[in-house]
Amino acid sequence: MSDIKRGVSLYSFQNETFQGKMTLEDCVRTCAEMGAMGIEIIGEQSFWGWPEVGVEESVIAEWHALMRKYGTTPVSHDFMLDYKRYKGREMPFDEQVASVRNDVDFGARLGMKYIRALVSIAPEVLVAAAPYAEEKGIKILIEVHAPLHFDHPWIIRHAEAYEKSGSAALGFLPDMGMFLHAYPRVWKEKFMRLGVPRDIADYVEKAYADRVLSEYVILNVQQMGGTGPAIAMAEVMRHNAAFEPKRMLDFMPRIHNVHGKFYEMTADYVEPSIPYDEIIRVLRQGGYSGYICSEYEGNRWIEDAEEPDSVEQVRRQQVMLANLIGEPAPQLQAA
């Protein structure tokens, strides 16, 4: 048993919530039933009106009532910061900082410990917002997400800026999708539905497994006669790679939340494309004691062919996580 805790980002249930098939309460109850007691949200997905219109106090009170009712813990409010809000010009720096402070406030109202910053946000903006986050007891975590990774100069710049600031309110939220060690089956199948011939799809999958540089794979696909979706299937390799989980170790003091990204969970509780056994080993080695929040993203890859069953997918990942962190979880058995 380790100190790692299980949670879910309600992003995982987007297919159901978008269509009104699950309410916020349904989502929270579902997580609690899986023993995933940490709740992460994208503020503007779960709360209509945020940020441009705002959210009334009565709605925030309902959120806290849900947390009490199900015994769940608010973990993170993922904010967006639309710095392209104005057509043709980027949002001015001071306004970006004010926008982050606004999300700090929203996170604090929801009882969150963290707010998630998207990876494209400039380090200077977050550093400028850090003192306010400290005041409010919130940490701002930049999501390290493919195609970026812990050795990328942009992330290094963030790390250096955080160290220079001396603020403990700045940190990282790694998304496990950056450790994509196999080409996801649901991606391959989607591209084949779009018309990619099997020989090319098999080749790209194999080339990914062999760690061939994306540019060579794209050229080879072209020379195999690939067009359109076949090129796109190879180009995915420009944005995804099998970076090594152990690269997180240098950053552990600032890693406070983890996105348990997954594209597919098999019936025997395996994510075929992301090495969760290795990931958990590294997180344990690094003394990680925060949450891993499930983030199901297979939905968009299968929705053209079948209705995603997000709840079952998340349940399977939670079983896997409970097993890997050595947690007895009888409540996770399939009904």
Partner 1 sequence: MMDNKMICTDLFENVVEDGATVGFAFLGRLPYYRGLGLSMIEDIQVAVDGEAIARDAIRFSVHGKTYTLDEMETVYDDRWNFGEKARIVALKPGGLAPGKHRIEFAVRMRVSYLPFVPTTKDSKELALAA
CB of 256 to partner 1, least distance (A): 21
Establish if 20 lies at the interface with partner 1 (CB under 8 A). yes
Contact pattern from residue 252 through residue 291 relative to partner 1, giving x for each residue in contact according to CB under 8 A and a dash for the rest: ----------------------------------------
- C-alpha to C-alpha distances, 304 to 190, 191, 301, 309, nearest whole angstrom: 8, 11, 7, 13
| Among residues 4, 27, 36, 42, the one that binds partner 1 under rule CB under 8 A | 42
| Among residues 8, 34, 44, 106, the one that binds partner 1 under rule CB under 8 A | 44
Give how far the C-alpha of residue 266 lies from the chain's centroid of Cα atoms, to the nearest Å.
20
Establish if 95 lies at the interface with partner 1 (CB under 8 A). no
CA–CA gap between residue 102 and residue 133 (Å, rounded): 10
CA–CA gap between residue 27 and residue 22 (Å, rounded): 7
Establish if 310 lies at the interface with partner 1 (CB under 8 A). no
Residues 63-92 that bind partner 1 (CB under 8 A): 80-87
Choice between 157 and 211, CB closer to partner 1: 157
For residue 335, the tally of other CB atoms under 10 A from its CB is 4
Helix axes 214-223, 198-209, angle to 10 degrees: 160
* Cβ neighbours for 259, distance < 8 A, ≥ 6 positions apart: 9, 143, 145, 173, 174, 175, 176, 177, 292, 293, 295
Establish if 102 lies at the interface with partner 1 (CB under 8 A). no
Contact pattern from residue 107 through residue 146 relative to partner 1, giving x for each residue in contact according to CB under 8 A and a dash for the rest: -----------xxx--------------------------
CA–CA gap between residue 316 and residue 314 (Å, rounded): 5
Establish if 176 lies at the interface with partner 1 (CB under 8 A). no
